Amino acid sequence: MPCEFKAVRRVEFSETDMAGIVHYSNFFRYMETAEHGFFRQLGYSVVMDRHFETPMGWPRVHAECDYRQPLRFEDEVEIHLLVSEKKSKSLSYIFKFRKLNGTAPVEVARGSLTVVCVTKKADGTFASVHIPKAFAEKIEVAPAEMLA
Task: Show the binding pattern over residues 30-59: x = contacts a second copy (CB under 8 A), - = does not.
Answer: --xx--x---x----xxx---------x-x
CB of 104 to a second copy, least distance (A): 18
Q: Which is nearer to a second copy, 36 or 96 (CB)?
A: 36
DSSP 112-140: EEEEE-EEE-TTS-EEE-PPPHHHHTT--
Task: Show the binding pattern over residues 64-83: x = contacts a second copy (CB under 8 A), - = does not.
Answer: xxxxx-x-xxx---------
Instruction: Count residues near a second copy (CB under 8 A).
Output: 39
Q: Which of 108, 103, 81 is nearest to 92 (CA)?
A: 81
Q: Count other Cβ atoms within 10 Å, centred on residue 118.
A: 19
91 near a second copy, judged by CB under 8 A:
no
Are the beta carbons of 142 and 4 closer than 8 angstroms? yes
Q: Which residues are catalytic?
A: 17
- Choose, by CB under 8 A, the member of 2, 43, 54, 60 that binds a second copy: 60
CB of 87 to a second copy, least distance (A): 17
CA angle 82, 30, 112 (to 5 degrees): 40
Question: What gap in Å lies between CA 91 and CA 130, rounded to an integer?
Answer: 11
Question: What gap in Å lies between CA 89 and CA 54, rounded to an integer?
Answer: 15
129 near a second copy, judged by CB under 8 A:
no
Question: What gap in Å lies between CA 25 and CA 15, rounded to an integer?
Answer: 9
CB of 57 to a second copy, least distance (A): 5
- Choose, by CB under 8 A, the member of 2, 43, 63, 88 that binds a second copy: 63
CB of 75 to a second copy, least distance (A): 12
